Amino acid sequence: MALGNLIKSWENIMRDDDGVSGTVQVLSQLVWMLFLKVYDLKEDEWELYEDDFESAIPENCRWRNWARGKTQKDKITGDELVDFVNNTLFPTLKELPVTSQSSKRRTIVKEMMAESYNYMKDGVCIRKAVDLLDGINFDDQEEHHSFNMIYETLLRGLQSAGRSGEFYTPRALTQLITEKVNPELGKVTADPCCGSGGMFVQSARFVQVHSNERGVVSVYGQEFNADTWKMAKMNMAIRGIEADLGPYQADTFSAFQNGTLEDVKGFCAVATTQDIAKQDYILTPGRYVGIEEQEDDGEPFEEKMTRLTSELSEMFAKSHELEDEIRKKLGAIGYEI
């Protein structure tokens, strides 16, 4: 289904439900349902390649069981569906036990659902919305790569209709910016107004194309809008991008203007003109935000330095071996170094 038609269908369903009022709630319903749908597809992939795979979501709350169902009879609707969503699905996912030993996936699910809400009151409308999203073939490569465009297309439609919406960065522009920034393998990419994460996705693709490696991009960002922040979290999670978008939506610029911004080591700091003058007016952030305190791993300093220098020495040795091999190969074809 074309994205434009899908969005129209989605809005029509939301319009028929008395519980949904306004753009914010229309977007909110889309975000949590889309997350559970796409996350379920991603679990299929993890289960296929991981011998010790275990779903972070309880079995009865997985999309495949309550939304899709194995048979038509399994597709609950009406009051039964409303009761399940409000009294089983949301309480279960919002209260997922998370400890320091919990998987990152489990943490993401809880964070995503913690601030999500079901505004829909009509179980028939919920079933229509679920079936609409479930009908999207995210297994198709193009649709899988452009799922976040559903969200952006809705924003675009809201703007053109004169309703409250947000501006988004066109994909062509994020591609151009990414090429100019030239993200490198193993480096961190930051975007203080990250939206749904389009810049991060383009950075990951850029690095993959130029290094032929996946999952090697680390990103850091923040987003003011709660639903867009959740979309970005989802975007990063299903693409396997290591992302630190904070535990909740954030807006350091507004906090700075309002005088409520607190210094956080390694993240943000308020610097006076006197502080900047002491740094010879150099605005490199690290000079002001400092370094986040690291948890002591218990390894004595001398032992750690001995271990690290030994590992570095081995790397140097391998580097010299590689240099010699390259010299021999080039010499064999008439190119001496």
Task: Give tens-digit pLDDT for 160-184.
Answer: 444 444 556 777 888 888 888 888 8
Residues 162/18, Cβ–Cβ less than 8 Å: no
Q: Which residues pair with 10 in a beta bridge?
A: none
Encoding tokens for residue 265?
A: 């080591």
> Rounded distance, CA 107 to CA 96, Å?
8
pLDDT at position 310: 92
What's the first-to-final CA gap in the chain, in angstroms? 59
> Rounded distance, CA 309 to CA 165, Å?
54
- Residue-wise pLDDT tens digits, 76-128: 999 999 999 999 999 999 999 988 888 888 888 998 898 889 999 999 999 99
Does the structure show a pLDDT above 70 at 4? no
> Rounded distance, CA 67 to CA 88, Å?
13
Encoding tokens for residue 16?
A: 């028929």
pLDDT at position 214: 62
Q: Which residues contact 320 (CB under 8 A, 6 or more apart)?
A: none
Report the C-alpha dihedral over residues 32, 234, 227, 100, rounded to 10 degrees.
Answer: 90
pLDDT at position 229: 84
Encoding tokens for residue 4?
A: 């434009």
Residue in the structure block whose two tokens are 């947000």: 166
> Rounded distance, CA 91 to CA 13, Å?
24
| pLDDT tier, 329 (very low <50, low <70, confident <90, very high otherwise) | confident
Q: Which residue has the higher pLDDT, 238 or 134?
A: 134
Identify the sign of the CA torsion 199, 204, 205, 206: positive
Residue 221 CB-half CA count within 13 A: 28
Identify the sign of the CA torsion 312, 318, 324, 330: negative
pLDDT at position 174: 83
pLDDT at position 140: 47
Q: Which amino acid is at 163?
A: R
> Rounded distance, CA 25 to CA 164, Å?
12
Axis crossing angle, helix 198-211 with helix 226-239, rounded to the nearest 10: 20
> Rounded distance, CA 216 to CA 236, Å?
13
Give pTM, 2 decimals.
0.64
pLDDT at position 150: 64
> Rounded distance, CA 234 to CA 44, Å?
16
pLDDT at position 70: 80
Q: Which residues contact 106 (CB under 8 A, 6 or more apart)?
A: 56, 96, 98
Encoding tokens for residue 102?
A: 């919990």
Nearest to 207, CA basis, from 199, 322, 223: 199
pLDDT at position 58: 95
Distances in whole angstroms, Cα of residue 138 to Cα of each of 21, 22, 130, 235, 300: 28, 28, 14, 13, 49
Strands 188-191 and 218-221: parallel
> Rounded distance, CA 229 to CA 193, Å?
10
- Residue-wise pLDDT tens digits, 301-324: 898 899 999 999 999 998 988 888
Encoding tokens for residue 155?
A: 């924003």
Phi and psi for 98 in degrees, rounded to 5? -130, 125
pLDDT at position 226: 79
- Residue-wise pLDDT tens digits, 45-86: 888 888 889 999 999 999 999 998 888 777 899 999 999 999
Phi and psi for 325 in degrees, rounded to 5? -65, -40
Residues, the chain, total?
337
